[in-house]
Amino acid sequence: GQHNSSAFTLSGFNDTLGYRAVVFSLASLCYFAILFFNVAIIIVIVSDECLHEPMYILLCVHCINGLYGTAGFYPKFLADLLSSSRVISYHGCLVQAFVLYSFVCSDTSILTALAYDRYVAICLPLQYHSIMTNRRVYSLVCLSWLTPFCIFSINIVLTRLFCLNWVIVKLACPDSNTVINNVYALATLSIYVVHWLFVVWTYMYIVKTCVQSKEDRAKFIQTCVPHLISLIMLFVIVVSDLMHMRFTSSDLPLSFQNFSSLAVVLIPPLTNPLLYRFKLAMIRKRIFVLLFLRKKLPVSS
């Protein structure tokens, strides 16, 4: 982007000028698929009391978070594809940065909570219901959302006061003091590095337990594999994006830079509900009932 007084020109669109209609159609289709699959999972879990258990509640929250993150990107992106100006205000840029950063950090926290849930279910099965109470689950959900909300609310304030934001700092304040920027960024990163270390610790114990039991191995394949795929995808995308923001050369093709930036609102929100739908038997059965069996039921007068 290019900075001009109180607005940014979105120069990333320059590479799409020749085939804007194709990009708009693909982005619209992608956003519709994200909405459909995530809303389907949410409706199934909310409407079925059999699924009101910690793992499914966390999966539901994960899908809601996916809708939140993509809502901060796709409507504006699609509108810009139809517009000739392709400009975002400074405040609009801050809001979008807040939504996208908080979305990624919430995703990390929710997946960490899911790792803890699977650890208790497999390694401490007899204590599962006493540990994973509704109160604890709701506390984990609140922490997953409130922590990034607080961190990036402070980030927005500091961006306005000290020009503290990795991407916006390059555009709006190229000569600013980056010491505050780097200290705050490292403090934020350290919080979520602890999340990832905790996930590694839980899976070390999960794998150790599953090696000793055939029943636990089956549970691992059914419930932990989708979660592990989600974790690995998010980790690779986030690390790639951080490296891109901090170190990538501008000599790389613009289309590659755009894909690297958009991957976080494209791949996880689209693939996560599909992973949960096809791998988790309970959700798969409920979606089948919702879509097909209800259509066959006679309508009572």
Q: Which residues of 261-284 are buried (b: 16+ CB within 10 A; e: fewer)?
A: bbbbbbebbbbbbebbbebbebbe
Q: What domains does the chain contain, in order, with CATH numbers?
A: 17-284 (1.20.1070.10)
Please report which confidence band the pLDDT of residue 5 belongs to, taking 50, 70 and 90 as the band edges: very low
| pLDDT of residue 49 exceeding 90 | no
The predicted-structure confidence for 255-290, as pLDDT tens digits, reads as follows 666 777 788 888 999 999 888 876 666 677 777 776
| pLDDT of residue 17 exceeding 70 | no
Maximum mean pLDDT: which of 4-13, 138-147, 245-254, 289-298: 138-147
State the pLDDT at residue 131: 95
Q: How far is CA 185 from CA 152, 154, 293, in A?
A: 11, 12, 51
User: Strands 7-9 and 2-4, how do they pair?
Assistant: antiparallel
State the pLDDT at residue 201: 94
The predicted-structure confidence for 199-233, as pLDDT tens digits, reads as follows 999 999 998 888 887 777 777 887 788 888 899 99
DSSP E strands in the chain: the ranges are: 2-4, 7-9, 87-89
| pLDDT of residue 4 exceeding 70 | no
| pLDDT of residue 19 exceeding 90 | no
